[in-house]
Amino acid sequence: MGSSFSSQKCDVFISFRGEDTRDNFTSHLYDALQTKKISTYMDDKLKKGDEISPVLSKAIKKAKLSVIVFSENYASSSWCLNELAQILECKKKRGQIVVPIFYHVDPSDVRKQKGSYTITSNKFKGGKRKVDEWKVALTKASNLSGWDSRSLRPESKLIKEIVGDIKKKLEQLHDGTSAAMIAGAVGANMAVAAASAC
């Protein structure tokens, strides 16, 4: 599907930091989802500016499930943080399923906003209110059941497991299972990121 997005609904939206994972993990995940006939939106253009484009905003709203690839530089992009905030808004208002993937980052760094996930109003335009919104979004997303790339190797196996889990969640959604139940379900063979706040 790439960056050209029609009015047709897509199953999955992938939020990721291009410079970290565009040419490796995210492109392999996208291809694996496409192979399973799961319609997926992945922005394949370099991003400029601070606002989410209308096309991306529309893709997020129409997706049944969003995948967030938390990588080393994800939180250094106001674009990614704005996407994250909108995804969690769709989860709250529309019951969108959200699947976080912690790619070579510690989930607790995302949750506690440590290391590369430290965000301050000095770093970004938009002021304290915007930064506070992003911090809340990071905490909420990191507390969801997700995948920790450090727990499941090789990467090909990790992608296979993630795609299988996404396919199952979408099938349950098509069968009428509530998104809340699906999002809360944790598969026995799933590499789960610890969600307890310390």
Hey, what are 192's tokens?
């789960």
Give the integer Cα–Cα distance in Å for 44 and 121: 28
Q: How far apart are CA 155 and CA 134, in angstroms?
A: 29
Tell me, yes or no, if 83 is annotated catalytic.
Answer: yes
| Residue from 51, 72, 83, 161 carrying the catalytic annotation | 83
Q: Give the SS3 label for residue 99.
A: strand
Q: Which of 118, 135, 119, 140 is nearest to 197 (CA)?
A: 140
Cα–Cα distance for residue pair 138/112, rounded to 1 Å: 9
- Is 190 in contact with 146 (CB distance < 8 Å)? no
Q: Which amino acid is at 157?
A: K
Residue 145 region by backbone torsions, left for phi larger than 0, else alpha for psi between -120 and 50, else beta: beta
Q: In the 8-state DSSP scheme, what is residue 24?
A: T
Q: How far apart are CA 123 and CA 68, in angstroms?
A: 22
- Active-site positions? 83
